[in-house]
Amino acid sequence: MPSDATVISLRGVSTRFGEHVVHANIDLEVRRAEIFAIVGGSGSGKSVLLREMILLHQPDSGTIQVLGADIHALGEDGARALRRRWGVMFQHGGLFGSLNVLENIGLPLREHTRLSDAMIDEIATLKIALTGLEPGIATKYPAELSGGMLKRASLARALALDPELLFLDEPTTGLDPASASGVDELVIKLRDQFGLTIVMVTHDVDLLWRVADRVAVLGDGTIQGVGSMDELSHLDLPLVRQFFEGPRGRARQQQPHENQQEQAWKPK
């Protein structure tokens, strides 16, 4: 379960694209072993914020610390070492179409380690099993996979280096309800079994209610609110309320403690 230790810290982060202000002096903290979600409307800058955390974009001002390191003060070697400590599951999978699943999962191991090809294939096979995929998936190519399989294969690659920190970009987008539910369960399992800190960008209301310990709502360039879904549901702020209006939001509010109840009976 989450601890008080801070894994990610943002202070005064501001981002502009030309005259457009995306982030205006954002402060945010993510705690160890929590599932932390970032939500917001289209154009709110949630994906940009994720990219800033993983060294794919630099804000115009402010500081970002990840796992105790100021990520924009790192040299090339420091950045490379830090990347070994996190995994990223991209929205559209990010797998290379010319490589099969086993080869895709092995890529981070080939880039960051000196393990033998046989050992890399063995580890990749274990990651395939960990994410609930059948062994036969290993020889298939991304174009041959269903949406749910593609998400899991991407997640397996993100887990290749046994990261401390996992970033998930829209993990359930495009999935049918059954496949999305399977991803929900897998996210909880990974946090509980391995103590991972998980940061995800999502607009999936069901996923937020089911797995998120805390949620940050982005809007108008600022953090509109941070808390559990239950806590946020009581805030009378228009940009926060949008996640609790409509039939899906109201239905989820009728069972706000589902995740806690699941955790209570789940065997350790």
Digitized pLDDT (tens) for each residue of the chain, 268 residues in all? 566 799 999 999 999 999 999 999 999 999 999 999 999 988 889 999 999 999 999 999 999 999 999 998 999 999 999 999 999 998 877 899 999 999 999 999 999 999 999 999 999 999 999 999 999 999 999 999 998 899 999 999 999 999 999 999 999 988 888 888 888 899 999 999 999 999 999 988 889 999 999 999 999 999 999 999 999 988 888 778 776 764 445 455 555 444 443 433 333 3
| Residue corresponding to tokens 């800033």 | 52
pTM, full prediction: 0.88
Residue 177 lies in a domain: no
Residue 262: inside a domain: yes
What's the CA gap between 105 and 110, in Å, rounded?
A: 10
CB count within 10 Å of CB 84 equals 15
Q: What is the CATH number of the domain that holds 228?
A: 3.40.50.300
Rg (CA), the chain: 18
Residue 133: inside a domain, yes or no? no
Residue 156 counted as domain residue: no
Which residues, including other chains, have CB under 8 Å from residue 65's CB and lie 6 or more apart?
6, 8, 9, 10, 71
In a domain, 265, yes or no: yes
The rounded distance, in Å, linking the Cα atoms of 67 and 116 is 29
First to last CA, the chain: 12
Q: Per the structure, how many domains does the chain have? A: 1
